[in-house]
Amino acid sequence: MVSTVSEARPGYGQLLRTPGAWTFLLPGFAARQPFAMLTIGIVLLVDHTTGSYGSAGVVAAVSGVSMALFAPQSGKLADRFGQRAVLFPGVIVHAVSVSALVVLALAGAPLWALFLAAVPTGASIPQIGPMVRSRWAVKLEGSPLMSTAAAFESVTDEFTFVIGPVLTTALCTGIHPAAGLITEAALTLVGGLVFAAQRRTQPAVGARVAGQPRVKHASALSVPGVRALAIAFLGIGAVFGGMQVSLTAFTEEIGRPGMNGLLYGIFAAGNMLAGIACGAIAWKTGPKNRLLIAYTALALTASGLWAMHTAPLIAGLGLLVGLCIAPALISGYTLVEKLVPATARTEAFTWLTGSVALGQAAAVSVAGQLADAYNASTGFLVPMGGTVLALITLLALRSRLTPKGAEPVSGTAFAEAGAGSAGTSEARRTSGTERGIGHRVPVSVD
């Protein structure tokens, strides 16, 4: 644990003055809307055409599971061939898949046909968030602003999830049930193409980094620390999914369904506030210790949700749960920069976002079944179970979250693949300092 000098205090203003940052931030914000608009858009459209929330939820779940399974492969391809090469065909496939889903739903196609369309729809969701994080990692490698960038991205994700569902609902109810998905596809297509065109900020393709010879690409999941983080992010996904279903069931149970948006908004607001604070604080502890502390607090707060039986109590505890999520997410993403070389970071980030999506999909299904079979409170057992199990695993594997020796990861394949950029970074680390923006500051590894 170390202190940083006062001028090293990270700030959003300093982060956003990074040369070239806005060229990928603005189009990236538009192109990352699928995460917030797709699920609710599918639910509203399919419910309109079938009259069944159950059918709508299953179609949405198929799309979510497809995204979770295919996202890491998309990230691996981006690391190997470049983000541009993956994004151009990806956003086109996504736009076509969403269009097919809309046409089939409006035509009254059978449920199996909607499932078939939902698979490529979810699988082709562009992994803009991980790609933006990878661009930050390249621009800020070795800088104390990296944790600020991770916080900024967490806040951006939460802001997207605040406005995305509201925009989609307004379009579907005020214009046409398919308007939400059509807008989502258009934003993805335009934003994704513009983002892909920003070649100057794109991370170098791994096989050509620093003139190194072409080598075999290992999966980022072969890094033990990434596997541990993926398990932790499954638990975070369980919180998101469990909260969505359980809050809906609770508000219907008390006869005030309109309160659902307010309660979930309080939960999301806690996440946003914590994310903003994380980026503004000059931390004296490293991301590994911050992750363990934040995740312990998350498991403790999530474990009390099932015992809350009034709206004010659920709102208060939900706020605390939200406050714990952002520090855990930010610390996990920050650790990727230390554990994984630049040649595999996009894939590593997509494993984490995919884990959140997979945990969310599983939690939606389990919490829904518990709420139907018993009551709304039992649905809140899902966030508790997910976070407690993930915390136990995280504590058992905590040693894997620290880079070993001078190399950022173990394994010959990664040592060779990351010899260009990662090796240079490690040379700076072994000297006891890392590069700041105009100054040098001490760094904590743990």
Helices 224-253 + 311-339 axis angle, to 10:
160
Cβ–Cβ < 8 Å for 29, 160: yes
Q: Which domain holds residue 303?
A: 6-210+219-442
* Cα distance between residue 73 and residue 350, in whole Å: 8
Residue of 270, 244, 256 whose CA lies nearest to 311? 256
Residue 218: pLDDT band by 50, 70, 90 thresholds? low
pLDDT one-digit tens code per residue, 155-207:
787 677 667 766 777 788 788 889 989 999 998 898 888 888 887 777 777 54
Find the helix or strand (DSSP H, E) in which 342 lies: none
CA dihedral 344, 350, 353, 358 (to 10 degrees): -120
Question: What is the distance between the terminal CA atoms of the chain, rounded to a whole angstrom?
Answer: 8
Tally of domains in the chain: 1
The set of residues, in sequence order, having a beta carbon less than 8 Å from that of 57 and lying 6+ positions away, is: 43, 364, 368
387: confidence class by pLDDT, cuts 50, 70, 90: very high
- 321 falls within a domain: yes
Whether the predicted pLDDT of 411 surpasses 60:
no
Per-residue model confidence (pLDDT) at position 267: 84
Query: 10 Å Cβ neighbour count for 2?
Result: 12
For residue 23, what pLDDT band results from cuts at 50, 70 and 90? confident
CATH number at residue 374: 1.20.1250.20
- Is 361's pLDDT higher than 90? no
CB 30 within 8 A of CB 191: yes
| Alpha carbon distances (Å) from 43 to 48, 51, 260, 273, 338 | 8, 10, 16, 29, 39
Exposure string of 213-238, with b = 16+ CB inside 10 Å and e = fewer, is eebebbbbeebbbbbbbbbbbbbbbb
pLDDT tier at 437 (50, 70, 90 boundaries)?
very low
Give me the percent of the chain exceeding a pLDDT of 90.
15
User: Which segment of 159-163, 189-193, 374-378, 379-383 scores lowest on mean pLDDT?
Assistant: 159-163
pLDDT reported for residue 117: 92
**Per-residue model confidence (pLDDT) at position 1:** 39
Q: So what's the pLDDT on residue 404?
A: 62
30-44, 140-154, 304-318, range with greatest mean pLDDT: 304-318
In a domain, 1, yes or no: no
Confirm if 65 and 192 have CB atoms less than 8 A apart. Answer: no
Mean pLDDT for 258-269 is 77
Instruction: Find, among 147, 130, 154, the residue nearest to 271 by Cα.
Output: 154
Query: Domain for residue 252, yes or no?
Result: yes
Higher per-residue confidence, 45 vs 163:
45
Q: Residue 56 — very low, low, confident or very high, per pLDDT cuts 50/70/90?
A: confident
Q: Which of 381, 270, 259, 389 lies closest to 318, judged by CA? A: 270
Decide if 39 is inside a domain. yes
Distance CA 396, CA 369 (A): 31
Q: Describe the crossing of helices 34-50 and 179-196 by its angle, rounded to 10 degrees.
A: 150
Check whether 435 has a pLDDT greater than 60.
Answer: no
